[in-house]
Chains A and B, each alone.
Chain A
């Protein structure tokens, strides 16, 4: 298996622009997590899905952030409009669910100027 695939790996954009990050989980995994890595808070959970359904989005910072999982093999995290404080590395991870270990993608490094 190719593992969890994230795109883009790097994104540089200007404040106010829309940013879409993409994630393809490992086939057969039914839980998907979006995390944001910052210096201050480490790995911060934004949202997680179980069987394509959002279970907890309480970590989403504000209305500018939204996430979707239209099918078992694809998820997006959208920021609109983006702000400089959104600059971070965004990780997607998937698992078989239950107490299964997380498999992480390589992350998407976002820089908002």
Chain B
């Protein structure tokens, strides 16, 4: 993998559902992996910065894992709420290249 890639591109879930998305990144010369939350009409805000293989981070109902050897990270949201609706971005490499994001919509 030469670029940072995210899947799925978009996701529609019902309130209360748990969901997860994937970020794939170049595994060679790994530097750091960032997750950001981007709400419409706002600027991206950092959720997690991860640097160690096997790292797991948690903030409320949102958590993330990191596998630097195979070049992927998962973001999990437990019990999705309408206010979780946003685009979730990951960024990697020393230049902080962003993926195109996963757009999440949570319906009440």
Contacts and interface: CB of A to CB of B under 8 A. Distances in A.
B95 A48 contact: yes
B96 A91 contact: no
A100 B98 CA distance: 15
B98 A101 contact: no
Interface stretch (B18-26, B43-51, B62-70): B43-51
Contacts of A33: 96
Interface in A41-77: 41-45, 48, 56
B100 A41 contact: yes
A101 B99 contact: no
A106 B46 CA distance: 14
Interface in B11-45: 31-32, 34, 36, 43-45
Given A48-B95, A56-B95, A42 B101 contact: yes
Interface residues of B, number: 19
Nearest to A50: B94
Contacts of A44: 98
B51 A99 contact: yes
A74 B73 CA distance: 34
Given A91-B43, A107-B43, A100 B95 contact: no
Nearest to A40: B100
B13 to A, nearest CB: 21
Nearest to A103: B46
Nearest to B32: A99
A68 to B, nearest CB: 19
B46 A102 contact: yes
A102 B8 CA distance: 24
